[in-house]
Structure 1
Amino acid sequence: MYKVFVNDKPIILTTKVKKESEFENYLLKSVNLKKVIKELNTTNRKKVHIIHHNEKKLLKKFLKKLPNVIAGGGKVLNKKGEVLFIFRNGKWDLPKGKTEKKEPIEASAIREVEEETGVTGLRITKPLETTYHIFKRNGRYRIKITYWFEMYTEFDGDFTPEEKEGITKVAWLNKKEIKKAMKNSYANIKTLVP
C-alpha cells in the first residue's frame, strides 16, 4: 500500500478492494486521475482508493500517469535531539527540494537543506521513507517523489532562510514544539515526524 497526497487527502494505492463508505474505489487501469484530484480538492471526500492486482507494479504504473519531479530532503537532528524545521508559505515543513541533473539523491538532499536553511556540516545517518504528493504547476499536475534522509549536524550558527523559496523562518524544535507545529503542517511531513 502507498499513499499519494493531494493536499492533505490521500490517494491510497492498494491491491485490496474494500467496501466503500467514506471513500471511492477506482481501477488503476481506467482511472481518470484529474477527475480524482478535482474530487479530493472540491468535495468533503477524505480519501480514494486506486486498485491494481499486482503489488509490484502498482506504484510504477501509477507514477506513469503524471510527470514526476524528484526531490531530496532532510529530517535534521542536532546534539540536543531537536529537529530542524522551516516555516514556508504559512506552514511548518522540513527542508527539501528538486534534484539537479545527474545529481545523486543524497547530494540533493544535503544541498537543499543547506540552501534553504544555511545549516552546514550535515551528515546522513539513515534513509527515511519516501513520500509522494500531487501538485499543480503551470496548469499541469505533477507527482513529487521526495526521498528523505535523517541527518545529523553540530551546526550552531545563524540560520539563513531562503526567502525566494517562501521560507520566512528556520528553527530547531523540541518534541513539545514539534507536536504544536504538526497542527500546522502537511500530512506527508506528519508521517516522518511522529
Structure 2
Amino acid sequence: MYKIFIKDKLLVLTNQLEQETDCQVYLLETVNLKQLFTKYFDETIDKAILYHPNKKILLEKFLKKVDVERAGGGRVYNDKGEILFIFRNGRWDLPKGGVEKNEKIEQTAMREVEEETGCKKLTIKDKIAVTYHVFKRNGRFKLKETHWFNMKSTYTGKLAAQLEENIEKVEWIQPNEVTEKLKNSFDNIRLLFEK
C-alpha cells in the first residue's frame, strides 16, 4: 500500500480491498487521474482508493500515468539529538527540494538541506522513506516523489532561512517538542516520525 497526499487528503494505492470501505474505489487501469485529482482540489472528495491486483507493478503503473518530480530531503539531527525543522507557508516542515540535472538523490537531499537552512557538515546515515504528494503548477497536476534521509550534522554555526523559498525560520527542535510541531505540519512529514 502507498499513501499519496493531495491537499492534506489521502489517496491510497493498493492491491487489497477490504469488505467495507468509507470511500470510492477506482481501478488504476481505467481511472482518469486528472478528473480524480480535480475532485480533490475542488474538495468534492476526501479519500479514494486506487486498486490494481498486482502488488509488484502497482506503483510503477501509477507513476507512468502522472508527471513525476523527484526531490530529496533530510531529517537532520545534531550532537544534542535535536531535529532541524523549517517553518514555511505557515507550517512546520523538513528541508527538501528538487533534483538538478545529473545529480544523485543523496546529493540533492544534502544540497537542499544546506541551501534551505544554512546547516553544513552533513552526513547521510540511512534512507527513511519515500513520500508522495500531488500538487498543481501552471494548470497541470504533478506528483512529487520525495526521498528522505536521516542525516547527522556537527554544525554549530548560525542557521539561515532561504527566504526566496518562503522559509520564515529554521530551528533545532528538542525531541520532546516534535509532536507539538507536527500538529501544524503535513501528513507526509508526520509519516517520517511514525514509530
Q: How many angstroms does 1:39 deviate by?
A: 2.3
User: Is the 8 Å Cα contact of residues 5 and 134 (structure 2) preserved in structure 1?
Assistant: yes
> Counterpart in 1 of 2:28?
28
Deviation at 1:192, TM superposition (A): 0.4
Aligned alpha-carbon RMSD (Å): 1.3
Name the counterpart of 2:60: 60
Relative to structure 1, the CA distance from residue 20 to residue 58 in structure 2 (aligned partners, 3 Å threshold; closer, same or farther) is same
Q: Counterpart of 1:184 in 2: which secondary structure?
A: coil
* SS of residue paired to 1:37: helix
Name structure 1 gaps, 5 residues minimum. Answer: none
How big is the shift at 1:179? 1.1
Runs of 5+ consecutive residues of structure 2 not aligned to the other structure = none
Partner Cα separation in structure 2 for residue 49 and residue 78 of structure 1: 39
Find the aligned partners of 1:122 and 1:64 in 2 and give their Cα distance: 34
| Contact preservation (8 Å) 2:10, 2:46 | yes
Shift of 1:20: 4.8
Alignment-derived partner of residue 38 in structure 1: 38
**Cα separation, 1, equivalents of 2:153 and 2:175:** 18
User: 1:12, 1:182 → 2: CA distance?
Assistant: 22
Query: Post-superposition shift, 1:45?
Result: 4.0
> Identical aligned pairs, as a percentage?
47
Q: State the TM-score, normalized to the length of structure 1.
A: 0.96
State the alpha-carbon separation in 1 of the partners of residues 27 and 18 from structure 2: 12
Residue equivalent to 2:143: 143
- What is the aligned partner in structure 1 of residue 98 from structure 2? 98
Name the CA distance, whole Å, in 2 between partners of 1:25 and 1:61.
17
Alpha-carbon contact 1:7-1:186 (below 8 Å) kept: no
Q: Distance in 2 between matches of 1:190 and 1:44?
A: 24
Give the structure 1 partner of residue 184 of structure 2. Answer: 184
| CA offsets 1:125-149 (integer angstroms, 9 cap, x no match) | 0111100110011111000000110
TM-score (norm 2): 0.95
Contact 1:161 1:168 in 2 (8 A): yes
Q: How far off its partner does 1:80 sit?
A: 1.2
C-alpha spacing 1:136/1:44, structure 2 compared with 1 (3 Å) = closer
